[in-house]
Amino acid sequence: MTDTLPDRLSTDPRSPHYDAAILERGIGIRFNGVEKTNVEEYCVSEGWVRLPVGKSLDRRGQPMTMKVKGEVVPYFLDTKHAEPDPAG
């Protein structure tokens, strides 16, 4: 398995950006310098994350989400140090 994370990743199995193997390994997200544990989906190149909005659900029973723009730094949790490399 490679140590390179995809540009875009989703936790929703219905999404085309879902990857079970990568999610099993464990992903950490640093968004605008703050550790986030509730990210539903992220895109590094476009600079956004999807975060759930409260406990409200949509008509399909999925959590309502909000897209927030900013600096996204994903990293694997199983690496020797959980701090992502700021150079890339």
How confident is the prediction along the chain (88 residues), in pLDDT tens digits per residue?
567 899 999 999 999 999 999 999 899 999 999 999 999 999 999 999 999 999 999 998 988 999 999 999 999 988 754 455 555 5
- State residue 80's pLDDT score: 53
- State residue 4's pLDDT score: 85
Per the CB < 8 A criterion, the answer to whether 50 and 43 are in contact is no
- State residue 3's pLDDT score: 76
- Tokens representing residue 30 in the block: 């640093």
Angstrom distance (rounded) from CA 71 to CA 83? 15
